[in-house]
Structure 1
């Protein structure tokens, strides 16, 4: 019997951890480059193994354009290993972006920050809806090194965390998102040790959190509300998406999704035409209009794919000199 692992070619190892490694691989069926995380579960307890499998099944059912997609998982029972096949986010993560801006003494542009927060808020809304329906103890990990960037520079929320003793609601996620927003604006962590006491005192007394002067007062107000120490006074995910500050970005994301859907529908129709034309190709003379149409469709498909891969490649215009 052929092993499912044989359907992939390992390209190289990205990282190695205590329980396994992460590798970039190529799927033989279509040549697509993805990644898999290898876990050796031999040393895990039964409850830990069960938690790991629950996480994998949760991820596979969690589908959103701003959440890293889990395509499949493979259990190698002979070697007690689990392989999680996931989307390849080839452009790094927010931790890389923040570190690069810090080294270059650059602040991120507000429009870019608003776009990131909009995409993550939408992803969190989907996450909590899925989590509540399944009664899972998963919560989103909003650390910058777990938020990835795809080839079109869209953010992708990475793997969630799991705790059977902890159940987080969307108000907890709003706090974590506020901490991330603070770090994106200031290039500093929200509670970096010695400053924790001062920041907490400021929040408790209602002292306004000040951001660098190039950011709008609307952004500062939103941040202050997200970091309210009283959880029920924080905005909800839905109210954030309906706010005036995020309205434009929400509209742009909706248009992007609609355009992507239209392209996918058009490509499915083209693929059907290609298949039909190929069936008749052998019986047609060279230069026949159907063969010419087939060639034109192939060229159009290739052009569309090249165009989509070039969307929003350059982020150099998204920063301001300090």
Structure 2
């Protein structure tokens, strides 16, 4: 069991991985639930420690409705563990949803796939605008929060570039979703995330990844030769198949960007809305718009409440930090006074000893 001090109560384990464990926790001051990713850093080399620091800094700075929200961190120096406290996504991950659909023999609706693509594109567009590459997009890292909205998680392998068109060189990621330029150890940019998203979209539609060879060498050959094993069912539109194909373009310069993908998703969803609403009466259309507006108003109020909670928590953290600094200053002054008193005593002793020596010599 992890120790988070007096601020949180540990409810139970949500999952485990090579990095450590994820726990469900409750904040005692307001009863809200969160996820806690616990990473043991004591045995890490310097490179992995730096990557862990990067993950925390990136998560703290990213504020987007389709990225898992950073809440706080807690360092357990005694056990060499960093606890990263994050938004709790109760809807599970896309990997489990795909497994469930495959077991049931039920495909995802096309509208749902477009919705997932759009939400992922919104998040990636924000990341790439800030020169960040995720580098490990896969179904297990796509979680679902309130209203079944997609949230990108796990920035443990993310890379911050100096500019939008800069390139990275380190080979990282999950092999099944790795772009050709990564497989070939070539310099790469943000387009590797779009390739990974293309693999995810293909897997969501076909209920199987596009490349699923059994060993690393066969997988590398399949990716480089673009030998897709599991094809997308014919029930899906040509537009969806073409869009996924453009995401899986071997040439990163010809691959869709996040902004391009977002534009295509919006085009499909607007056309779908036009088809649905064309047969509606004016009253039905008005009711639909009012319902959407009400939902948006509710979500805006929820965001306002969260913002106020964050402001209040930040205020308390600042007050706590000031109190700790005050105690530290007080202890420093007390220590300084103690040292001064000790020095004065020593000087007095030396002075008395010198005077005593002089008197003995005169005698």
TM-score of the superposition, structure 1-length normalised? Answer: 0.70
SS in 2 for 1:5: coil
Instruction: Note if 1:259 corresponds to 2:280.
Output: no
CA shift in 2, pair 1:265/1:60, >3 Å: closer
Please name the residue that 1:147 is paired with: 142
Residue deviations 1:163-198, cap 9 Å, x none? 684375332111111111110110111101178656
Contact 2:135/2:192 (8 A) holds in 1: no
Instruction: Note if 1:222 corresponds to 2:243.
Output: yes
**Structure 2 Cα separation of the partners of residues 33 and 232 of structure 1:** 43
CA shift in 2, pair 1:4/1:238, >3 Å: same
SS in 1 for 2:6: helix
Query: Number of matched residues?
Result: 257
* 1:257, distance to aligned residue in structure 2 (A): 8.8
SS in 2 for 1:26: strand
CA shift in 2, pair 1:89/1:59, >3 Å: same
Contact 2:213/2:222 (8 A) holds in 1: no
Query: Which entry has the higher C-alpha Rg, 1 or 2?
Result: 2
**Structure 2 Cα separation of the partners of residues 154 and 201 of structure 1:** 35
Residue deviations 1:226-273, cap 9 Å, x none? 111111111221122112225569999x979953554348879xx9xx
Please name the residue that 1:181 is paired with: 201
Q: Which runs of 5+ in 1 are unaligned?
A: 272-322
Please name the residue that 1:192 is paired with: 212
Q: Which runs of 5+ in 2 are unaligned?
A: 160-167, 171-186, 275-288, 310-363
SS in 1 for 2:253: helix
**Structure 2 Cα separation of the partners of residues 255 and 248 of structure 1:** 20
Identify the range of structure 1 (184-193 vs 78-87) with the bigger mean alpha-carbon deviation.
Answer: 78-87
CA shift in 2, pair 1:246/1:50, >3 Å: same
Residue deviations 1:148-171, cap 9 Å, x none? 111321111111224684375332
SS in 1 for 2:148: coil
* 1:61, distance to aligned residue in structure 2 (A): 1.0
* 1:124, distance to aligned residue in structure 2 (A): 0.6
Instruction: Note if 1:21 corresponds to 2:41.
Output: no
Contact 2:74/2:82 (8 A) holds in 1: yes
* 1:20, distance to aligned residue in structure 2 (A): 3.1
Please name the residue that 1:236 is paired with: 257
**Structure 2 Cα separation of the partners of residues 214 and 235 of structure 1:** 23
**Structure 2 Cα separation of the partners of residues 256 and 124 of structure 1:** 28
TM-score of the superposition, structure 2-length normalised? Answer: 0.63
**Structure 2 Cα separation of the partners of residues 158 and 248 of structure 1:** 30
Please name the residue that 2:316 is paired with: none
Contact 1:34/1:85 (8 A) holds in 2: yes
Contact 2:107/2:207 (8 A) holds in 1: yes
CA shift in 2, pair 1:249/1:123, >3 Å: farther
Instruction: Note if 1:156 corresponds to 2:151.
Output: yes
CA shift in 2, pair 1:20/1:192, >3 Å: closer
**Structure 2 Cα separation of the partners of residues 174 and 249 of structure 1:** 24
Q: Which structure carries more relative contact order (alpha carbon 8 Å, separation 6+)? A: 1
**Structure 1 Cα separation of the partners of residues 15 and 149 of structure 2:** 23
Superposed CA RMSD:
3.3
**Structure 2 Cα separation of the partners of residues 18 and 235 of structure 1:** 32
Contact 1:19/1:41 (8 A) holds in 2: no
* 1:38, distance to aligned residue in structure 2 (A): 1.4
Residue deviations 1:271-315, cap 9 Å, x none? 9xxxxxxxxxxxxxxxxxxxxxxxxxxxxxxxxxxxxxxxxxxxx
**Structure 1 Cα separation of the partners of residues 193 and 125 of structure 2:** 10
Please name the residue that 2:268 is paired with: 245
Please name the residue that 2:31 is paired with: 31
Please name the residue that 1:43 is paired with: 43
**Structure 2 Cα separation of the partners of residues 113 and 40 of structure 1:** 36
